[in-house]
Amino acid sequence: MKKDGDGREKGSEQLLARRLSEEVGISEPDALGLIKLIGTDWNSLLREARFLKERH
């Protein structure tokens, strides 16, 4: 898989973003933004994604 500028694999981030998007109901671009901001810790991503969804 290709790696982006900070060494993380793009494909795995995309899969994680898709899973987060489906589970919480946010857009994939929003999910990718959270991953870039927070990292890949699933519990942190869920918490922030739910917070983001409540704001919209």
Q: Contact 16/32 with Cβ under 8 angstroms?
A: no
Quickly state the pLDDT bin for 1 (edges 50, 70, 90). very low
Write out pLDDT tens, residues 9-51.
Answer: 568 999 999 999 999 999 999 999 999 999 999 999 999 999 9
Identify the DSSP state of 22: H
Q: What is the pLDDT of residue 35?
A: 97
In whole angstroms, give the CA distance from residue 23 to residue 29. 14
Region for 16 from its dihedrals, namely left if φ exceeds 0, alpha if ψ lies in -120 to 50, beta otherwise: alpha
Q: What is the pLDDT of residue 55?
A: 87
Q: Which of 14, 6, 16 is nearest to 43 (CA)?
A: 16
Q: What is the pTM of this model?
A: 0.79
In whole angstroms, give the CA distance from residue 35 to residue 29. 10
- Whether the predicted pLDDT of 3 surpasses 80: no
